[in-house]
Structure 1
Amino acid sequence: MAQHYVQLNEQGYITRKDEELTKDDDPKQWRQIMIATDAEIDFGVNYKHYRVDENNIVHAPANSDLPTVDQVNKQLAGALDTITKQTEVIEKQTVELNNLQLMLGEATKAQVEAGKLFDTKTAVYQNMFGDVTKQLVEIQTQLDALKGGK
């Protein structure tokens, strides 16, 4: 517990604070309060948001008590548990994504090979079609010659 001397406004909010009074301070203008050690840092920063009631009870901002160390530790443990679970999900999804990328790479490679095979077969069939067309033209020429010779 830490001892503080404070001055209050009409609503009981702290306007000034000090850890000790000097010989020039009028003790009648100051109230002595005690702050829990675990609330000391917050009080030091936010003391103007604290209120002291007529029974000299110190109220944290918004009239709520500051969380205890156990409460903060429980919240932290819950957050860490959530982070651990989310990390596991991310790691699983990363593995799945890597597998999908490999599969996509293999599929793309297979598609390229299929395209090359198609191009090769198309060229072969075009050559064969050209050869057959030439043969048909020769046969037609021979038929026309035979018809003309009769």
Structure 2
Amino acid sequence: MSQDIKKATVSELTELIQKGNAHVSFEDAVADLAPNLRTEIPGDLPYSIWQLVEHIRITQKDIVDFSSSDNYKELKWPDEYWPEFVSEIDDDSWNASLDEIQKDRQRFFDLLNDESKDLFKKFEWGDGQTLFREAVLIADHNSYHTAEIVVIRRLLKAWK
């Protein structure tokens, strides 16, 4: 793959992960959320916005860790991917989770931009995954749960 094609592909993947293109970004979905709504669970839904944010953080970190090392330690599904319910979450914990999402996203972008990395070469570990596939997985997973955040905000009457 030429460097120009790789740069264009990485640019598209980065934009897809950051902005979502056809849907709201994660940052927009969590912006200006009243602290008391972070842990509210409307109706019969199984989780709160806080649980979704933490699930995004945990899963994205797991994907980045998997993509960057053959020393990866697999998490137990679903127990280690979903946080337990809590009745409230303080600003420090909320902001730390959002910061970690950004840091892990940047770690992944650094992998994508590493000129020594082939986007389509199968990892020596795993069962056929590539850096390209993991980028699409992050974009797909995060956009799915971002949409759920928006739905919960709408049910809580806390959306635009």
Per the normalisation by structure 2, the TM-score is 0.20
TM-score by length of 1: 0.21
**Higher relative helix content:** 1
Q: Whose RCO is larger (CA < 8 A, sep 6+)?
A: 2
Greater percentage in strand: 1
